[in-house]
Structure 1
Amino acid sequence: MEIKIGVNNIPRELSIETQATADEVEQALRTAITEGGLLTLTDEKGRRVVVPAAQVGYLDLGKEHSRPVGFGAV
């Protein structure tokens, strides 16, 4: 799934591709906000993105990818 993160006072948004579900990402943000900590997400290549939870302006949770089955054309 593609996730776009809007960070306060930063004109560009962060965009990452991750295997996490929308519910997992939302829960990670809720936990980070309540603990006053960092939102940490891992992308598909294993890189970590760390953002101070208090600075997150918005999360745009894209459509979750479904794995194609068989040999059909895309």
Structure 2
Amino acid sequence: MEIKVGIQHVQREITVESDASAAEVEAELRKALSDETILTLTDAKGRKVLVPVGKIAYVDLGQEHTRPVGFGAS
């Protein structure tokens, strides 16, 4: 799933491709917001992205399952 995080006063957004579900990411975001800590996102390759929740402008959770594209798609 593609996760986009907008940061306050920064023109570019952070994009992370993750194996986590939307519910898992939302739960992690809610916990970080309530604790006023850092949102930790892990991408599909195991790398971590740390974002201070006080600087988050928005979080866009993309589709969990992307549609197949190409000749073999049914």
TM-score normalised to structure 2 length: 0.87
4+ aligned runs moved over 6 Å, structure 1: none
What is the percentage of aligned positions where both structures have the same residue?
A: 49
Residue 26 of structure 1 and its aligned partner are, at CA, apart by: 0.8
CA distance in 2, matches of 1:9, 1:27: 25
- What's 2:40 paired with? 40
- Establish whether residue 16 from structure 1 lines up as the match of residue 32 from structure 2: no
Q: How does 1:1-74 map to 2 (within 5 A)?
A: 1-65=1-65, 73-74=72-73
Q: Give the count of matched residue pairs.
A: 70
TM-score normalised to structure 1 length: 0.87
